[in-house]
């Protein structure tokens, strides 16, 4: 397994470790959630907290511990430390090939996915088709769903309102088990929105 740390990220990890009185010497990185909206968790840990199934990655001045489930999704990823005017923190950019494999393996399946897809196809998509839009279910994780807006909805200034006041309301009425709806659309690359 390979992880690529920028100099800044490596320096920040070691400086955080130096601040710890407990002598934490390892960084644990885990990935959770859908491949369409991954959640990265970075935690400083004692090097003795290594589980049998963990993979160890040498990052120079410290060790990175990664569980097997996260390893496939993190292999080849770049870890950086980014500072902006409003926030700073670690940023993980996965390897595009790993993302493609994870997305190919993921996808909506099961009764919940079938019921949500039915609502999208029979109630929501016919209503937004007049604007050239379509909404697709791309993944289900437990009771959370991940949708992608396409056509006239991708990049549309009204897409957030469509999601909050239309999609969420209609899905929650028909499929009350759904606890969260995540929009994973790349709205910045939308080139033909109905509303501009």
DSSP assignments along 51-99, one per residue: -TT-EEEE-SSSEEEE-HHHHHHHTTEEEEEEE-SS-EEEEEE--HHHH
Instruction: Report CA dihedral (188, 137, 69, 27) to the nearest 10 degrees.
Output: 30
- Phi and psi, residue 120, nearest 5°: -60, -45
Residue 52: predicted pLDDT: 85
CATH number of 107-189: 3.30.300.130
Q: Is the dihedral of CA 15, 20, 23, 26 positive or negative?
A: negative
Report the alpha-carbon distance of residue 18 to residue 33 in Å, rounded: 31
Residue 112: predicted pLDDT: 86
The CATH class that applies to domain 3-104 reads mainly beta
Residue 99: predicted pLDDT: 60
Report the alpha-carbon distance of residue 68 to residue 74 in Å, rounded: 10
pTM listed for this prediction: 0.56
The reply to whether 3-104 and 107-189 are identical in fold is: no
Residue 66: predicted pLDDT: 92
Q: Based on the number of CB atoms within 10 Å of its own CB, is 74 exposed (0-12), middle (13-18) or buried (19 or more)?
A: buried
- pLDDT tens per residue, the chain (196 residues)? 888 899 999 999 988 888 877 767 788 999 887 666 678 899 888 867 888 888 888 888 888 999 988 888 888 888 999 988 888 899 888 877 766 665 555 566 788 889 988 888 988 888 888 777 888 888 888 888 888 888 777 676 677 777 777 888 888 888 999 998 888 877 666 555 554 4
Domains of the chain, by residue range, sit at 3-104, 107-189
**65-95 confidence digits (pLDDT tens):** 999 888 888 888 889 999 888 888 998 888 7
Residue 29: predicted pLDDT: 92
Residue 10: predicted pLDDT: 92
Percent of the chain with pLDDT strictly greater than 70: 82
In sequence order, what are the residues at sequence separation of 6 or more whose Cβ sits closer than 8 angstroms to the Cβ of residue 66?
A: 1, 3, 28, 29, 30, 54, 55, 57, 74
Residue 38: predicted pLDDT: 78
């Amino acid at each position: 397994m390979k992880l690529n740390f920028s100099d800044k990220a490596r320096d920040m990890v070691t400086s955080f470790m130096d601040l710890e009185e407990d002598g934490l010497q390892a960084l644990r990185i885990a990935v959770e959630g859908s491949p369409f909206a991954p959640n990265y968790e970075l935690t400083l840990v004692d090097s003795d907290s290594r589980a049998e199934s963990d993979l160890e990655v040498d990052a120079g001045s410290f060790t990175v511990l990664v569980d097997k489930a996260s390893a496939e999704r993190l292999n080849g990823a770049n870890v950086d430390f980014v500072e902006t005017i409003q926030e700073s923190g670690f940023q993980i950019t996965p390897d595009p090939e790993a993302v493609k494999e994870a997305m190919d393996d993921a996808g909506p399946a099961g009764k919940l996915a079938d019921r949500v897809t039915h609502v999208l196809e029979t109630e929501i998509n016919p209503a937004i088709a007049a604007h050239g839009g379509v909404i697709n279910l791309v993944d289900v994780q437990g009771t959370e769903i991940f949708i992608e807006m396409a056509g006239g909805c991708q990049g549309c200034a009204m897409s957030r309102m469509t999601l909050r006041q239309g999609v969420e309301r209609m899905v929650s009425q028909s499929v009350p088990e759904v606890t969260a709806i995540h929009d994973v659309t790349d709205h910045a690359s939308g080139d033909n929105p109905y509303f501009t």
